Amino acid sequence: MRVLVIGSGGREHAIAWRLVREDGVDEVLVAPGNGGTAGMQRVRNCPVGVDDLQGLVDLARTERVDLTIVGPEAPLAAGVVDRFQAAGLKCFGPSRNAAQLESSKLTAKRVMADAGVPTAEHWAFDRLEGALELIDSRPEGALVVKADGLAAGKGVFVCRTREEARSAVRQVLSDFGPAGKRAFIEEFIEGEELSFIALVDGEDVLPLASSQDHKARDDGDAGPNTGGMGAYSPAPLMDDALQRRILDEVMHPTVQQMARGYPDHRFTGFLYAGLMVTPAGEVSVLEFNCRLGDPETQPLLMRLRTPLSQLCLAALEGRLGECALEWDPRPALGVVMASGGYPGDYAKGHPISGALGDSDEVAVFHAGTVRSDTGELLTAGGRVLCVTALGSDLAEAQRTAYERVGRITWRDEFHRSDIGHRGLKR
């Protein structure tokens, strides 16, 4: 079987890494891929961008691709799955309509309200005046300001004061282009975050192992939000009762609402609920993503033993109810190594040096990297690598990952030094 992976991040490198280890997968194409997928056996980078939907369909046709897995949200929101389906090609992910669960916060809130899914109280504004009035009418304290559309994880501002909230609303409505046509203000929910990701076939929900991400840039979860600075799986916070609660209160009602409540919004693909678990043990949905998380996928796929390609095919045929998942019991932890300046401006093109090879316990997943004409590995993005390790326990996975991080370097490199701290405290 030949599988096409759409995307160029660490998540897509991890998907390709998993796929080439599966029986029945002969070759993996990655469009466009990165410097890491460029160096893999039985993997071929194809120079087609994630926004070139027709180019992707043509690639899958000419290369006789048997299955396509979509990594990032942008092509899903643009309707890549609809285009593949219309061409008679198997493509795992939600349709453009279903992907609105991520691409429009307003749609997500509406679905949750209709399905009775717990989420923060919110207000939406397309004009500054209304937003400022709302902020003034609230007691001084934490509010969260969000851009309505896709902003690569950077369109969210957790504000401690009214003044911070005012400035965040101004920024969303003026600096975010189409994603900031509307600003969202949300009540702040106290608690611990959890990533809950499942395969969905329109009807059945098959949860992956639990994971936790570190969204903030700096140690101690301080600094601006990023796409994610590190992750680990499983999350010690998760237990059977919490999983049951999330399935009953969040996942099943959402998938049912999508299938029954709206014409053409049936959800097939990876459904990722970003959750806050309150000190009282209640769950509240912060956001839905219609794809695998990055960097959660890196530790998750290091642990997954059931073939991912078979799971995607089963989901496309509506057979997820017959599937069960097997996991490596060892925890895995991934540390993101980033370019100085990220999530703001950063330089590119710095040579990367050090111990970049994989071993049994460590995989160095690439995100923003390219190979130069001479084969040299260069930085090419904000998040550059995600060094991911397995360990007999979370502490050992953390030690092994950081030991490897210490042997890789480039100019301006930075990483958090406390990935896993919440899990280790438990």
Binding site for ligand AMP (CB under 6 A): 120, 144, 146, 153, 156, 158, 186, 188-189, 193, 215, 225, 274, 286-287
CB of 134 to ligand GLY, least distance (A): 27
Q: Which is nearer to ligand AMP, 122 or 245 (CB)?
A: 122
CB 153 → ligand AMP: shortest distance, Å? Answer: 6
CA quadruple 89, 80, 107, 135: dihedral positive or negative? positive
Name the token pair of 405.
């991080």
- Enumerate the β-bridge partners of residue 6: 31, 70
Partner touching 192 among ligand GLY, ligand AMP, none, CB below 5 to 8 Å by kind:
none
Closest CB to ligand GLY among residues 15, 89:
15
Report, in Å, the least distance between residue 48 CB and ligand AMP.
28
At closest approach, how far in Å is the CB of 329 from ligand GLY? 23
Instruction: Select the binding partner of residue 296 from ligand AMP, ligand GLY, none (C-beta < 5 to 8 A, by kind).
Output: ligand GLY
One DSSP character per residue, 72-100 reads SHHHHHHTHHHHHHHTT--EES--TTTTH
Q: How far is the CB of 109 from ligand AMP (least distance, A)?
A: 11
- 5 and 30 Cβ atoms separated by less than 8 Å: yes
Task: Give the shortest CB-64-to-ligand GLY separation in angstroms.
Answer: 31
Looking only at the bridges linking them, the beta strands covering 283-289 and 377-379 are unpaired
Which option in ligand AMP, ligand GLY, none does residue 188 bind, with CB closer than 5 to 8 A by kind? ligand AMP
User: Considering CB distances under 5 to 8 angstroms, the limit depending on partner class, which of ligand AMP, ligand GLY, none binds residue 120?
Assistant: ligand AMP
CA distance 325 to 346: 40
In whole angstroms, how far apart are CA 130 and each of 108, 126, 178? 22, 8, 19
Closer CB to ligand AMP, residue 193 or residue 201? 193
> Structure tokens of 194?
């959890």
DSSP secondary structure of 20-56: TTSTT--EEEEEE--TTGGG-TTEEE----TT-HHHH
What six digits make up the tokens of 291?
């794809």
Nearest CB to ligand GLY, comparing residues 195 and 369: 195
List contacts with ligand GLY (CB under 6 A).
153, 213, 228, 289, 293-294, 296
Which neighbouring-strand residues pair with 4? 29, 68
